[in-house]
Structure 1
Amino acid sequence: MRAKPTAVALDIDGTLIDHDEGMSPAVLDAVRRTAAQVPVILATGRAWSTTRPVAERLGLPAGGFVVCSNGARTMRFPDGDVVDERTFDPSTVITSVRKYAPNARMAVEESDGTYLVTAPFPDGDLGRDARIRVVGDDELAPQPVTRLIIRDPDQSESDFVHLAERLGLHGVSYFVGWTAWLDIAPEGVDKSTGLKVALAQYDLEPSGLLAIGDGRNDIEMLTYAGLGIAMGSAPDEVKSAADEVTKSVQDDGVATILNRWF
């Protein structure tokens, strides 16, 4: 992409902020300058309740959009109006998880941003300010949900890659995270799904979109965008899917890219 991007999509965790929720002044300044010139769309696996504070921290203009829950929800910022929502029935997956990973913890998001969990997640996993309510498996998903999160702190990332294979996931999309974390989404839904909705609101084409991310759940977003940038700490398969690799979040990779045009 030689021309100035017409819109920018940014992942949050591992891209804008580090594992301690820290964001460097350089990145903050670069994003604010960018948002003053073109739409900046946060595209994240987070729920709206933990995405909105990041958008506020960045000072994103009112009337913009954020893509939450790995593309299952596209929301208007800052009022939280749902522009688009995709759901599925996770009951079959929940049953399979209990068969193949009996000690795993599961969570789903309610419409108000509360997480229903089968057991508490490690501190910070669902966001520092996330609201949670512990329920039994049978109460976890009485109605369709935007995503199902599976987590087992005693397992490894590779264990969860194998778990996804054993579960035989059909009719859903899934993303294995950095740790023993598995996101189950409606079939065909990923971050690019929400970005299509958001770009349509602006009457913009994906060819002008610059996207930056670091996780496996960013692959579709990076290939959808006119220019997809992987963070330096991204897994190899994410780097392979990107057009370019920038520095890590600790080295202000996002600022390095945005400073080219903004």
Structure 2
Amino acid sequence: MSAAKRPVPDTWQPKLVALDIDGTLLRWVDGTGIVHEELSPAVFEAVRRAEDAGAHIVLASGRSVDAMTPVADLLELHGHGERVWIVASNGAVITRYPPVEVVHEETFDARAAVAAVLTEFPNALVAVEERGVGYRVNKEFPYGELNGELIETAIEELVAEPVSRVIIRDPTATVDDFLELGSKLGLHGIDYVVGWTAWLDLAPIGVSKAFGLDHVCRELGVDAGDVLAIGDGRNDLEMLEWAGRGVAMGQAVDVVHAAADHTTGSVDEDGAAQEINRWF
């Protein structure tokens, strides 16, 4: 548990529930970087109960916003009569929906960082979101890992303008390879997150899911102490530490458990529903 936080009382009820998607709401297809695009009845019912009780439900993911709105639809989020908030691209893109309206976006110059990564991994796959379409990529990504249309584009053109997020993927590398790479390069002026596989997200310095959620909370008049956050990945670390109660999914890696206040069941055990039902 973070030393800066105290345990919430048993009578506590979150005013905002921040939910990661992949590995938290949606189950992984075994041995792949793909999830089943369907909710279990237990998770659906728990989220519906929380929103109907008055909590704000905010999806917070590394996905692009276009890949998040279908999940908002699956959950039947109603935003208490207002458009729902969505924190996309690991906090760099903050939107309202429906329809999609970008409320805030953080961008950065990724040219030097991408060049440095490709020096170490010259065969790496690189992707940048093309909002409303899909992604611009330097090469084809493994099937199902990116949503929408994939538009092959030269590296120089991919990062010619400031971007909100860059995805680096190398199916021949390992997580440890990318962890070592991030440490070796330093990647000054940007932040990076390594995924469950050899997947590296580059983002503007200081930007995380916690950054995006803090923006939403200020808009809604909600304190971070009144937030329940649930996630399973390294890109959830800041969110779990920032929220009043941060909860790791059972299958999360050790560093995520260490950042959380509590561990719930795995995604295959409907862990998100277990945690939400504790408070609603």
Pairwise TM-score range, normalised by the shorter structure: over 0.9
Q: Per the alignment, in what secondary structure is the counterpart of residue 279 of structure 2?
A: coil
Q: Deviations over 1:53-81 (max 9, x none)?
A: 00001001151201000000110012111
Q: Per the alignment, in what secondary structure is the counterpart of residue 18 of structure 2?
A: strand
Give the match for residue 65 of structure 1: 85
**Is residue 30 of structure 1 aligned with residue 50 of structure 2?**
no
**Is residue 42 of structure 1 aligned with residue 62 of structure 2?**
no
Of residues 246, 264, 267 in structure 2, which corresponds to 1:249?
A: 267
Q: Distance in 2 between matches of 1:135 and 1:93?
A: 18
Give the match for residue 188 of structure 2: 170
Q: Distance in 1 between matches of 2:13 and 2:151?
A: 45
For residues 219-258 of structure 1, the aligned pairs below 5 Å read 219-258=237-276
For residues 52-201 of structure 1, the aligned pairs below 5 Å read 52-62=69-79, 63-127=83-147, 130-201=148-219
Shift of 1:192: 0.6
Stretch of structure 1 that moved more, 252-261 or 158-167: 158-167
Shift of 1:167: 2.5
Report if aligned partners of 1:98, 1:104 keep a CA contact under 8 Å in 2: yes
Give the match for residue 31 of structure 2: none
Q: CA RMSD in A?
A: 1.1
Report if aligned partners of 1:110, 1:145 keep a CA contact under 8 Å in 2: no
Q: Distance in 2 between matches of 1:94 and 1:237?
A: 26
Q: Deviations over 1:32-63 (max 9, x none)?
A: 11122210000000001100000001001151
Shift of 1:110: 2.5
Report if aligned partners of 2:39, 2:74 keep a CA contact under 8 Å in 1: no
Report if aligned partners of 2:66, 2:131 keep a CA contact under 8 Å in 1: no
Give the match for residue 25 of structure 2: 16
Give the match for residue 4 of structure 2: none
Report if aligned partners of 2:139, 2:152 keep a CA contact under 8 Å in 1: yes
In structure 2, what residue type is equivalent to 1:201?
E
Shift of 1:12: 0.2
Q: Deviations over 1:145-197 (max 9, x none)?
A: 00010000111111111121232211101100000000000000000111011
Uncovered stretches (5+) of structure 1, i.e. residues with no partner = none
Give the match for residue 51 of structure 1: 68
Shift of 1:5: 0.7
Q: Distance in 1 between matches of 2:78 and 2:187?
A: 39
**Is residue 212 of structure 1 aligned with residue 230 of structure 2?**
yes
Give the match for residue 13 of structure 2: 4
Report if aligned partners of 1:100, 1:166 keep a CA contact under 8 Å in 2: no
Q: Deviations over 1:96-120 (max 9, x none)?
A: 1221110100001123352110111
| CA pair 220-101 structure 1, distance change in 2 beyond 3 A | same
Q: Per the alignment, in what secondary structure is the counterpart of residue 260 of structure 1?
A: helix
In structure 1, what residue type is equivalent to 2:21?
I
TM-score by length of 2: 0.90
Q: Distance in 1 between matches of 2:219 and 2:84?
A: 9
Q: Per the alignment, in what secondary structure is the counterpart of residue 151 of structure 2?
A: strand
| Count of equivalent residues | 260
Q: Per the alignment, in what secondary structure is the counterpart of residue 273 of structure 2?
A: helix
